[in-house]
Amino acid sequence: MEQPAWLDHAWREAGVRETPGPAGNDRILQFFRDVGHPAVASDEVAWCAAFLGACLERAGLRSTRSLLARSYLDWGTPLQTPKLGAVATLSRGSDPGQGHVGFVIGAGDGRLFLLGGNQQDAVSVQSFETSRLLGLRWPPVAAPQDGSREDIFETSLAHVLEMEGGWSDDPHDPGGPTNLGITLAVYAASKGVELTEASRAALKRELQRLEPAAARQIYRTRYWTPSRADALPPGLALMHFDAAVNHGVGNAARMLQQALRVTADGEIGPETLGASRTLPSNEIVGRYADIRRERYRSRGHFWRFGRGWLRRVERTVAAAQKIKGVQTSPSMQRQPGERNMTATDNPSGTGKWWGNSVTIWGALVTAASTVLPVIGPLLGLEITPDLVSELGDRVVDVAQALGGLVGIAMTIYGRTRATTTLERRQITFQL
């Protein structure tokens, strides 16, 4: 019988054991990171749920991301009988808040055989009395991500791989040796191997031979899933995923929260996810891009990599706006008769039409108020003496003064709030 994919990942960790003393086994700590608990620094913390969740996440499934074994009682689909790969939740003592969780690999004679973590301080197979069984659940295989969400991941991954390129070992790059965007440190962690001077050379050779399929799995388990990009609107998901890869998952979470103007605590929960759906995605993406640019400019290596970093932001914004399902505001939608931008129009690719600029309109109002009365007669727009007499001798002066004041105020206001460059746009008038 072919075993489920999550069991494949579980068997690969068989034999991993807690490290005596205060230092935790990094492979066990990786289980915590995979389910969104990077702050856990000791393998003394109960880790059966972390292990099980990590195996599910590595197989592309959504776990509960909780460290409580009993969180799996309401997850997935209930089963009446044991099944290979099913998630079994057991009681532990008389405390209703405690429990144990593992994968079913067999049953018989009143006992369940589970492959699980934190079983005798290791990933191992152990038997338990069926009287302790609280529930059997089957992973929601049919709907961890619907087809459209999977398409978004593939599109986002293709963009990241294009941005990252192939092998690089620039001594000025703080990330160190990198291939397909995967740094040596991340590659070592994905293998559960400590990066030391002794292991560095061998790991570096392996990283140089990294295949796209292996990189894809690393991207999903270490960036896409932990960053919660799968729960964001399409275009924003791409921007956030790219930021998680380039800046780190925690930094990306805080930048996203700054863009959404919610509490920037680095924990993406209901508040953040709810806010991500309240505004057009392109508006949030624009704010996110500005935050990334500011962060890049603060880096000490901006002198060397700055142009490439800023170019990456511009291309990520453009890619995010192209994703099917992205929400755009009316000012970003191209109307019939408008032409596509060129590099001459707007090199950044994120500008706005001049007709939407308060600054431009302020200047036009000022010009109209002060210049039009002088050149008006030349254009056939004459203010007659009779009109002046009827309305008051000072009406023109007052109109000019008010118009000039309004125009100057609009110009100053528009300049202080301007955040994007202008683009040219063709306009057709029909008479």
In this predicted model, what pLDDT tens digit does every residue of 270-283 receive, in sequence order? 888 888 887 788 88
Note the Cα 358 to chain centre separation in Å: 32
pLDDT of 428 > 50? The answer is no
pLDDT at 11: 93
When comparing pLDDT for 361 and 99, which is higher? 99
DSSP letter, residue 279: S
pLDDT band with cut points at 50, 70 and 90 for residue 191: confident
Contacts from 247-250 at CB under 8 Å and sequence distance 24+?
Answer: 247/292, 247/295, 249/38, 249/222, 249/223, 250/38
**Stated pTM of the model:** 0.44
When comparing pLDDT for 169 and 119, which is higher? 119
d(CA 114, CA 416): 64
pLDDT at 412: 57
The CATH number that domain 5-138 falls under is 2.30.30.140
pLDDT of 249 > 80? The answer is yes
* Cβ burial 18-38 (10 Å sphere, 16+ → b, else e): bbeeeebbbbbbbbbbbbbbe
Among the listed residues 252, 284, 253, 288, the one whose alpha carbon sits nearest the alpha carbon of residue 268: 253
DSSP letter, residue 240: H
User: Helices in 181-261 by DSSP H: which ranges?
Assistant: 184-191, 197-208, 212-219, 234-247, 249-260
pLDDT at 89: 97
pLDDT at 431: 40
d(CA 308, CA 163): 9
The CATH number that domain 147-332 falls under is 1.20.141.10
Percent of the chain with pLDDT over 90: 33
The pairing of strands 133-138 and 77-78 is antiparallel
d(CA 144, CA 343): 41
The per-residue pLDDT for range 334-388, each reduced to its tens digit, is 333 333 333 333 333 344 444 555 555 555 555 555 554 555 555 454 544 454 4
- Provide the sign of the torsion angle of the four alpha carbons 384, 390, 394, 399, taken in this order: negative
The per-residue pLDDT for range 55-77, each reduced to its tens digit, is 998 887 889 999 999 999 999 88
What would the mean pLDDT of 117-137 be, rounded to a whole number? 95
How would you class 95 by CB atoms within 10 Å of its CB: exposed for 0-12, middle for 13-18, buried for 19 or more?
exposed
d(CA 53, CA 371): 72
Among the listed residues 195, 160, 194, the one whose alpha carbon sits nearest the alpha carbon of residue 180: 160
